[in-house]
Amino acid sequence: MIEQRIHGNEMEYLEEVLGTDFRASAGASMMKRFEQAFASRFGSKHGIAFVNGTATMHAALEAWGIGEGDEVIVPPLTMASTTFAVLQCNATPVFADIDPDTFQISADAIAKQITNKTKAIITVAVFGLSPDMDPIMQLAKDYGLKVLEDNAECFLGEYKGKIAGTIGDCASFSLQNSKHLTSGEGGIVITDDDEFADRLRKIVSLGYAGVSAKSGKVSRKDIQDPNYLRHQILGWNYRMPELCCAVALAQVENIDALVDRRKAVGKLFEEVVASSSDWFRSQVTPADHVHSYWTFVAQLMRDDVTWHALRDRFQMLGGDGVYACWKLTYQEPFMINRDFLNRSRYISEERLAEYGAGLCPVAELVQPRLFQFKTNYWDFSRAEAQAEILHKTLASFV
């Protein structure tokens, strides 16, 4: 059982990169090792590393040719980066409501939002649980849509025996400091689509002609040739630094232990809530899913107890900080004020008018009632103490 988050080859691999003095001839070697290790663990053909888990989604949409006039369906109950990625490629985010028990984007709600402008669906495995993917994939097949799985919060979660992130056309993962695996910052996209992976690599690497799905580096022979035509397409400098790749590779080597710790802590909280209260309900995990517990989430079901009262009682009894759920994306100031950095001109007046109260009533009901509890306890006895404090907190409101 692990006792700390950084416990593998992180320092060794960092020293290996530093030992190269960042020579161009040594560039991208650690990135390649990380990409191959990550893709292999998920059973995917390709892994493309990125500077973060927002650039991943932006680049994927660009690689599919999604842009002005196109619509992408997204959930409202998640971090705003999912919507940012849509806006960054000048497309229109369309919000579909969530399931009241799992808090995941609902296939029925998606179906109601599909138009002849819809080009893709971004699902989010929010809190570490996969959405119900089969009906979503059927909708995608019926309407010819792409599916991007935003798995920033879900590493090694499962859906009907499949690893979450291996079901859609591609999946995005974040390596930001709060995630199951981290290199401080970073991200990666996995896919089995060769053509898409090639184009994605060019987008992440300034459109260089010499890069491909399997190679993130331009050869010295090419780059030194005065006749070399470098930039085949428009691209961004979204490449993940070698130092971050070094840490990420070491984290992948320990992915099972890192994920298993969060799952163990999540189940600990799950048991406490199940035995303590019928008015504080945990996120429902369907029988054919495996939750990866980026956080443990529960919903306050009583109207005579406020969110702040429960949070304050928990902390007064010795509990660690409790996280609220993000405001729904369309309730954030940038959406209310239409401050899209001059991109509102790409969105129809009808869609702009939708971004307000009543758009996703289930999500609007659920969001203010959610509590997120930390699961990244490397000292398991501390997690057990926190679970006991939660039990005492709930009992104190009886």
For 157-198, how does the pLDDT look when each residue is reduced to its tens digit (9 = 90+)? 999 999 999 999 999 999 999 999 999 999 999 999 999 999
Cα angle 19, 25, 31; round to 5:
75
CB 346 within 8 A of CB 396: no
Taking only Cα atoms into account, the Rg of the chain, rounded to an integer number of angstroms, comes to 22
Is 241 in a helix, a strand, or coil? coil
Q: How confident is the model at residue 321 (pLDDT cuts 50, 70, 90)?
A: confident
Q: How confident is the model at residue 398 (pLDDT cuts 50, 70, 90)?
A: confident
pLDDT of the residue at 25:
73
pLDDT of the residue at 217:
81
Written out in words, the top-level CATH class of the domain with range 257-395 is alpha beta
pLDDT of the residue at 218:
78
Q: Is the pLDDT of residue 219 over 70?
A: yes
Q: Is the pLDDT of residue 26 over 80?
A: no
Q: Provide the residue ranges of all domains of the chain, joining segments of one domain with +.
A: 10-254, 257-395
Residue range 84-126, pLDDT digits in tens: 999 999 999 999 999 999 999 999 999 999 999 999 999 999 9
pLDDT of the residue at 222:
77
The architecture in CATH of the region 10-254 reads 3-Layer(aba) Sandwich (3.40)
Q: Is the pLDDT of residue 27 over 80?
A: no
Q: How confident is the model at residue 276 (pLDDT cuts 50, 70, 90)?
A: confident
In sequence order, what E strands does 164-228 have? Answer: 170-174, 187-191
pLDDT of the residue at 269:
97
Handedness of CA 349, 60, 168, 171 (dihedral sign): negative
Q: Which amino acid is at 258?
A: L
Q: What percent of the chain stands above pLDDT 70?
A: 100
Q: How confident is the model at residue 12 (pLDDT cuts 50, 70, 90)?
A: very high
Mean pLDDT score of the chain: 96
Query: Would you give the DSSP letter of residue 340?
Result: S
Give the mean pLDDT of 267-294. Answer: 95
**Number of residues that this document lists for the chain:** 398
Identical fold between 10-254 and 257-395: no
Exposed/middle/buried for residue 207 (C-beta within 10 Å: 0-12, 13-18, 19+): middle
Report how far Cα 10 is from the mean position of its chain's Cα atoms: 23
Residue range 333-386, pLDDT digits in tens: 999 999 999 999 999 999 999 999 999 999 999 999 999 999 999 999 999 999
pLDDT of the residue at 1:
64
Distance in angstroms (rounded) separating the CA atoms of residues 363 and 76: 7
Q: Is the pLDDT of residue 281 over 90?
A: yes
Query: Would you give the DSSP letter of residue 284?
Result: P
Is 263 an annotated catalytic residue? no
CB 186 within 8 A of CB 161: no
Q: Which amino acid is at 68?
A: E
C-alpha dist (Å) from residue 36 to 39, 50, 126, 262, 382: 5, 14, 26, 24, 35
Q: Which of 32, 119, 146, 179 is catalytic?
A: 179
Distance in angstroms (rounded) separating the CA atoms of residues 126 and 104: 7
Residue range 37-63, pLDDT digits in tens: 999 999 999 999 999 999 999 999 999
Count of other CB atoms within 10 angstroms of residue 10:
19
pLDDT of the residue at 141:
98
Give the mean pLDDT of 205-219. Answer: 88
